[in-house]
Structure 1
Amino acid sequence: MAAKTSLKGKGKAGKGSKGSEEGSSAAKCVKEWSTWAMKKAKVITHYGFIPLIIVIGMNSEPKPQLYQLLSPV
């Protein structure tokens, strides 16, 4: 499992703390969205790679049969 990192800033919270909280919130949202998108992309790539290769192979010339694409010879 991946370790979670904290987005909290170090130092004293001064007058600009509200602005930094909004920026931190936006950064956290972007980080969560990108993590979600990468997980979905990993699943799509995992389950879609072999079917993609088969479809590309079946659309090439000369047109092979499905068993010819899947046989090791």
Structure 2
Amino acid sequence: MASAAAEKGKAPADREETAAATAARLAAEWTTWAMKNAKVVAHYGFIPLVILIGMNSEPKPRLAQLLSPI
């Protein structure tokens, strides 16, 4: 029975992770987090950005003119 328990897996304290492996894992987690947040910002910020740029252009359109399809 003792050998069966040892074969199931190592305890988290028994596993040693090198500094390079830790840095790579943290970089991957940070990259994933940054890309998820960038996707949300781009999704909700694109239309307001277009409106803001359009309102600051010459000639200055009214908001209704800017949003109308014609």
Normalising by structure 2, report the TM-score: 0.74
Offset of 1:27 from its aligned partner? 0.2
Q: Which has the higher contact order (CA 8 A, sep 6+)?
A: 1
Runs (5+) with no aligned partner, structure 1? 1-17
TM-score, normalised via structure 1 length: 0.71
1:53 corresponds to which residue? Answer: 50
Aligned length in residues: 55
Q: Identity over aligned residues, as a percent?
A: 64
Q: Which has the larger radius of gyration?
A: 2
**Structure 1: 4+ residue segments shifted above 4 A:** none
Tell me the C-alpha RMSD between the 2 structures. Answer: 1.2
More helix by share: 2
